[in-house]
């Protein structure tokens, strides 16, 4: 797979964003978020989205490429951010920036976010909060769109992949914050789309059909076959389903978004509830460092069995804290470049041609 230097990929993405109608410096900020998703191993939320999702949304009028978020901080106990259906990468930043200011003063800040369009990789907002020394809890819904996930006992597409993210700063105990950033389905839908673009099959554990089977063909899934299972799969899907319900409601209530059943599904329009906490109000930074180090050392002593399947990101050596896989992948790719699949490159080049910027858009 071709590898592209992150700066070059960012410059290419900025060209596409500007051609879509996003002014500078907003275009560069969105490009940086997309390339960071590619860098840390979540290509599903990286530059491919410009071709597969954002350009079509701009065309259909559900994403305003020139809009910027507005922040209402009249009540510091209840910050409100309206993304105005601009790029969600800008809205996520604005929400964290506003919350950091309030949490620095009060120890805690709650933010309701609406009209976020697509806020990308939610872990980015947890990482940004942690970089400022704050923990973040994020609950996100998709504004009636993205109905790809079923509920326990069904194969009907009723819910979306509603992500939840939690970030905890470690104040130097680890080279990265602890960040759990997950779709409440077996996988994010973007991972299916990525496989469809690249022509790769889907693992059986991801989906279910009304006959009790699964969908192996990513294109067939994209055409409506079967549904994604909630996190926990066939035996424990009630857990992912429950997490998805609380994200749906918190984003609907605190964020002021809609919840399933309230209207006609359209394009994705993330709403979110963010809560920032200053851990230093509860304990010292030294205690946080000590707690993280002790837990990490404890996990390092776990006995692993060769007979038990391990997730890809483990590298087979020891359990990792959440956030470590992204940190490792980012470090490698900053050095060696970002692998970008041929079909993704083709999709981006086609978009550049459509937008009349084929000459300016050069990744090679």
Quick one: 107 or 319, whose CB is closer to ligand NAD? Answer: 319
Q: Which of 87, 325, 42 is nearest to 190 (CA)?
A: 42
Quick one: 226 or 257, whose CB is closer to ligand NAD? Answer: 257
Q: What is the C-alpha to C-alpha distance for residues 102 and 327, in angstroms, rounded to an integer?
A: 28
**Residue 121 C-beta: closest distance to ligand NAD, Å:** 4
**Residue 94 C-beta: closest distance to ligand NAD, Å:** 15
Quick one: 168 or 188, whose CB is closer to ligand NAD? Answer: 188
Quick one: 161 or 170, whose CB is closer to ligand NAD? Answer: 161
Q: What is the C-alpha to C-alpha distance for residues 110 and 125, in angstroms, rounded to an integer?
A: 14
- Residues forming the site for ligand NAD (CB under 6 A): 42, 45, 118-123, 140, 142, 161, 163, 165, 179-183, 187-188, 190-191, 268, 270, 311, 313-314, 320, 322-323, 325-326
Written as six digits, the tokens of 115 are: 């009209």
The string of DSSP codes covering 227-292 is EEPBTTHHHHHHHHHHHHHHHHHHHHHTS----TTSS---S---EEEEEEE-GGGTS-HHHHHHHH
Quick one: 77 or 311, whose CB is closer to ligand NAD? Answer: 311
What is residue 143's DSSP assignment?
A: T
**Residue 268 C-beta: closest distance to ligand NAD, Å:** 6
**Residue 321 C-beta: closest distance to ligand NAD, Å:** 6
**Residue 243 C-beta: closest distance to ligand NAD, Å:** 11
Quick one: 22 or 162, whose CB is closer to ligand NAD? Answer: 162
Q: What is the C-alpha to C-alpha distance for residues 66 and 86, in angstroms, rounded to an integer?
A: 7
Question: Quick check: 174 and 292 in contact, CB under 8 A?
Answer: yes
**Residue 77 C-beta: closest distance to ligand NAD, Å:** 26
């Amino acid at each position: 797979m071709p590898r592209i230097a992150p700066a070059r990929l960012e410059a290419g993405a900025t060209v596409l964003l500007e051609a879509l109608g996003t002014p500078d410096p907003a275009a560069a900020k969105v490009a940086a978020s997309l390339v960071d998703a590619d860098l840390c191993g979540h290509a599903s939320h990286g530059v491919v989205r410009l071709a597969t999702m954002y350009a079509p949304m701009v065309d259909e009028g559900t994403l305003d490429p020139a809009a910027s978020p507005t922040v209402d901080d009249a009540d510091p106990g209840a910050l409100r951010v309206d993304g105005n259906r601009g790029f969600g990468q800008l809205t996520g930043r604005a929400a964290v920036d506003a919350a950091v200011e309030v949490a620095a003063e009060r120890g805690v800040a709650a933010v309701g976010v609406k009209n976020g369009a697509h806020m990308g990789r939610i872990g980015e907002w947890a990482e940004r909060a942690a970089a400022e020394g704050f923990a973040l809890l994020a609950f996100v819904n998709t504004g009636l769109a993205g109905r790809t996930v079923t509920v326990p006992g069904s194969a009907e597409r009723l819910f979306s992949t509603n992500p939840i993210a939690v970030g905890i700063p470690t104040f130097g105990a680890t080279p990265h914050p602890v960040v759990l950033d997950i779709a409440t389905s077996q996988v994010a839908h973007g991972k299916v789309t990525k496989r469809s673009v690249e022509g790769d099959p889907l693992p059986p554990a991801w989906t279910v059909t009304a006959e009790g089977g699964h969908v192996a063909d990513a294109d067939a899934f994209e055409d409506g076959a079967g549904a994604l299972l909630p996190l926990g799969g066939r035996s424990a899907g009630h857990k992912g389903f429950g997490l998805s319900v609380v994200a749906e409601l918190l984003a609907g209530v605190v964020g002021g978004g809609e919840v399933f059943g309230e209207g006609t599904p359209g394009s994705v329009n993330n709403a979110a509830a963010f809560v920032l906490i200053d851990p230093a109000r509860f304990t010292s930074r030294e205690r946080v460092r000590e707690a993280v180090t002790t837990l990490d050392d404890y996990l390092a002593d776990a006995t692993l069995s060769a007979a038990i399947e391990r997730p890809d990101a483990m590298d087979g050596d020891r359990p990792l804290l959440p956030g470590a896989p992204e940190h490792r992948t980012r470090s490698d790719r900053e050095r060696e470049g970002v692998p970008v699949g041929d079909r993704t490159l083709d999709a981006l080049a086609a978009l550049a041609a459509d937008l009349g910027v084929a000459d300016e858009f050069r990744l090679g």
